[in-house]
Chain A
Amino acid sequence: MDTALSTEGKAMSRFAEKDTAITGVGMSEVSRGATKSALALTVDAALQAMADAGLERSDIDGIATWPGDRADGSGFSAVGCAALQDAMRLEVNWYAGGGEAPGQYGAVFNAIGAIAAGLCRNVLIFRTMYEATARKTAYANSLLRAGERQAGPFSWYAPYYTYAAALQQALYFNLYVHKSGISPEQIGQIAVNQRRNAALNPNAIYKTPITIDEYLASPIIATPLHLYDCDVPIDGAAAIIVSRMDVARNLRNPPVRIEAIGSSMRYRNSWTQLEALDTQAQPKVAEMMWGRTDLKPGDVDIAQLYDGFSFHTINWLENFGFCERYGAKDFIEGGKRIALEGELPVNTGGGALSGGRLHAYGAVHEACTQLWGRAGQRQVKGEPQVCATSTSGGPLAGAMLLVRD
């Protein structure tokens, strides 16, 4: 953490995120095979988010996404800023889509900067996944393609049959198991808790509750990952509107303030050479976020933590400081603390494991849904005000603290 920056920012109120808020959210139909195009799903989510905020197309003056248009057939990011802008004929002052950012929330952090720079007032931020359809047709979300030499950071893994993120990330998770002593029964609490929450979420993909025994009996993908530790590829889109605070205060919803962000890269950004392989990039990013607010981990009411794999959620529980290093196993033991009625409800809509892989934007959508008290049967009691949310693993990490105004 840059301590001087933290001190200066607090003294001079220079943290730009505090002058922004989420004012509307939207989500398309989420499925294991859509009947609409990726662009149609994106328009659905965008229109819903705008209507939720009480904004017209002419009010949107910025667009952002992560990682931007990837026309590679993988469905990982099927729609970029340009396609959505033209589809909706939006007239904006600023736009940005790109993958080199602090994980998926890089799009939000870019929007905060653009608002602070006076470039825009209401930014439409979206994330579109079309991986369910892509898998049915041509592409198995493999990191490797037969007959093609591999360039870039994954070239170091290429010759070793590293076909999927599950296999690569299992390297971090197996070391975490070795160091922490967490048991499979404890790990399984994440998947079981999220399936229980998904049963109360009409939009979730998998709603049938699972038991710990069913978790333990599910196939192993790569040690220590079971099938139920992995998120579910889907077709769908999520959108949020981030507005300047003075604009936000005149819109329909109580602003969900962006109280603090963590965006740092004060570690080796490498999939092979991370200093702390078992905790990945998260500790310094979380530390930065806490350095930009007076709130503490004990002030957090709910947590929407990245769950590309259940171990990411376990990692974030520790790295946000909700428990001690290697203490997550005790924190999640039995699942009571992280349940809807527990002291820290986690991934309340079922997350990506059971709700579907909207890749961190499902988490922001659920955070706002809870903070606005609209979560129906899965609504956390006691009017939650503060949500911690996070993205990604490996050398990618981003974090936000959201507070209902």
Chain B
Amino acid sequence: MTDAEISVPGRILPVVDRDSEAFWTWGRKGRLAIHRCQECAYYIHPPVPFCPKCESRDVAPEAVSGRGNVVTFTVNHKQWVAGLPERYVLALVAIEEQDDVHIPCNIVGCDAQDVIFDMPVEVFFEPQEDLWIPLFRPRARP
């Protein structure tokens, strides 16, 4: 096979349930949905219909700003499957609203070697089948 005949493999998609549906689909309107306690305002992720801070069951998805910072990251160097680029960045991003909410993601829109700890990033979405996958790219430091 030539390189041209090997396409980049698609993203493996998650199984979506009632709790995670907003997270994986609100990207259709450009919004990042994180569950939030309607009584004490604590963000809860992964989404669970219970607030571990105040024990409220009144929890619902809300759109957050989509801004965050890189908590940690790794630069991949190994080609795990045919067609996959060797260099890509896997990261955990903390949302601006609450730093204990970590979103796994790829950082794109810059060279892998330019990703640094605490880098300011912003969300955008890539449509895949019935889902909108959150990805993050650099944003100007505020």
Contacts and interface: CB of A to CB of B under 8 A. Distances in A.
Given A159-B133, A160-B105, A167 B90 contact: yes
Interface string A49-82: 0000000000000000000000000000000000
Given A160-B106, A161-B76, A277 B11 contact: no
A160 B103 CA distance: 11
Given A149-B14, A222-B78, A171 B73 contact: yes
Nearest to B105: A160
B21 interface: no
A216 interface: no
A133 B88 CA distance: 29
Given A161-B88, A277-B72, A178 B117 contact: yes
A162 interface: yes
B12 A158 contact: yes
B90 A171 contact: yes
A87 interface: no
Given A160-B104, A161-B88, A171-B92, A155 B14 contact: yes
Contact of B73 (A151, A163, A174, A278): A174
B13 interface: yes
Contacts of B73: 171, 174
A160 B90 contact: yes
A192 to B, nearest CB: 21
A389 to B, nearest CB: 28
Q: How large is the interface on B (under 10, 10 to 19, 20 to 34, 35 or more residues)?
A: 35 or more
A160 B11 CA distance: 7
B76 A156 contact: no
Contacts of A221: 76-78
B13 A159 contact: yes
A277 B105 CA distance: 16
Interface string A298-317: 00000000000000000000
Nearest to A173: B74
A310 B129 CA distance: 39
Contacts, number: 116
Given A161-B84, A162-B90, A156 B75 contact: no
B9 interface: yes
A369 interface: no
Interface in A24-52: none
Contact of A220 (B77, B80, B133): B77
Interface stretch (A140-148, A201-209, A257-265, A394-402): A140-148
Nearest to B78: A221
Nearest to B52: A268
A310 to B, nearest CB: 15
A273 interface: yes
A165 to B, nearest CB: 12
Contacts of A223: 74-75, 77
A222 B92 contact: no
Nearest to B91: A171
A223 B11 CA distance: 21
Contacts of A151: 14-15
Interface of B: 9-15, 20, 45-46, 71-78, 80-81, 84, 88, 90-92, 100-106, 117, 128, 133
29 contacts: A142-B80, A145-B12, A146-B10, A146-B12, A149-B15, A150-B14, A155-B14, A156-B14, A156-B46, A157-B104, A158-B13, A159-B14, A160-B105, A160-B106, A161-B84, A163-B80, A164-B78, A166-B78, A167-B76, A168-B90, A171-B74, A172-B72, A178-B117, A219-B78, A221-B76, A222-B78, A272-B46, A273-B102, A277-B71
Given A155-B15, A173-B74, A223-B74, 16 more contacts: A149-B14, A151-B15, A156-B14, A159-B133, A160-B11, A160-B90, A160-B106, A161-B88, A167-B76, A171-B90, A178-B117, A222-B75, A222-B77, A222-B90, A273-B100, A277-B92
